[in-house]
Amino acid sequence: MSVTEQFSSMLGHALELIEEGNKRGIPLRLLGALAIYVHCPSNRHLYEKVWRAPTDIDMITYSKFRGKVVKLMEQFGYRPVQRFVALYGMFRHIYYSDERDVRVDLFFDKLEMCHTINFKNRLELDSPTIPVEDLLLEKLQIVKISEKDLKDIIILLKEHDVGPADDREIIDIRYIAKLLAKDWGFYYTVTLNLDRIKKYMRANPGPLAEEDIQEIEAKIDRLREAIEKEPKSLRWRLRARTGPKKKWYRDVTEEFAAIVMEGGEWKVKKEG
């Protein structure tokens, strides 16, 4: 199956859930690579060229709909990873479907990984995905960022302009700058990753032409300028004095468990 076929199949399953969620008043929104794929119609071909396939369906909704979501998933034949739900069910569920051969990672209210992104009152801003600026932050918050995440960011930035705009297809640098001005650790991770993207593109241009790289670099520079110019909070300034000498991020492997397939069943396996 080609990368395009994999995206199409998995996206079909995701949209099926979102559509039914809408009928029941549940605002389910896509995160991750599938969401970026939805928002980048002019550059979807790059996923095939860089061989970046989707791995699962990442979604988020509000915790007040938790009970309704459980029923929705069960009615569509998705089974919860019971041990995972027992450990982390207040803010994250994992479901899988043998029939569809797909896993759904479902978050509530917040994305709490290396850094926290709060989606209070933001799920109404776009559909069927979270807003594009949140898609960018979702990837930029990863401290040990992977090559597939760098590819996602590059495709997102190639498709979308950045600026102080209310257009849902323009990455709102005002929102990003204000958010990072409150949290030095989040700021530090994001700025590190923006530099990594530039280096990665230069070392691995792949299907990108020189003009593509320069255009993305210019967008990164505009984003970085807005971040630096935004007035910082007192909390930010105090934390900046210590800098990276003190751990500035949440180590996901310490708080979460790996979900592995063993003996035909999804199981929780503690890392470390």
Tokens of 190: 């994001």
Q: Rounded to an integer, what distance in angstroms lies between the CA atom of residue 63 and that of residue 28?
A: 11
Enclosing H/E stretch for 111 = strand 110-112
Global pTM reads 0.91
Phi, psi at 95, each rounded to 5°: -125, 155
Q: In the chain, count of helices (H) and strands (E)?
A: 12, 11
Phi, psi at 136, each rounded to 5°: -65, -45
Domain segments of the chain as ranges: 3-270
In the prediction, which pLDDT does 253 show? 59
Please say if the pLDDT value at position 219 is more than 80.
yes
Q: Rounded to an integer, what distance in angstroms lies between the CA atom of residue 171 and that of residue 68?
A: 32
Residues 6+ apart with CB under 8 A from 202: 213
**pLDDT tens digits, residue range 2-50?**
999 999 999 999 999 999 999 999 999 999 999 999 999 999 999 998 8
User: Alpha helix (H) ranges present in 59-130?
Assistant: 66-75, 82-88
Q: What percent of the chain has pLDDT over 90?
A: 81
**pLDDT tens digits, residue range 55-86?**
899 999 999 999 999 999 999 999 999 888 88
Confirm if 67 and 81 have CB atoms less than 8 A apart: no
Q: What percent of the chain has pLDDT over 70?
A: 93
User: Rounded mean pLDDT of the chain?
Assistant: 92
In the prediction, which pLDDT does 260 show? 53
Burial label for 1, CB within 10 Å (0-12, 13-18, 19+), is: exposed
In the prediction, which pLDDT does 259 show? 56
Phi, psi at 183, each rounded to 5°: -140, 105
What interhelical angle do 173-180 and 132-140 show, nearest 10? 40
User: Alpha helix (H) ranges present in the chain?
Assistant: 3-23, 32-39, 45-49, 66-75, 82-88, 132-140, 147-159, 173-180, 184-203, 210-229, 234-242, 252-255
Work out the number of other CB atoms within 10 angstroms of the CB of residue 28: 25
Please say if the pLDDT value at position 271 is more than 80.
no
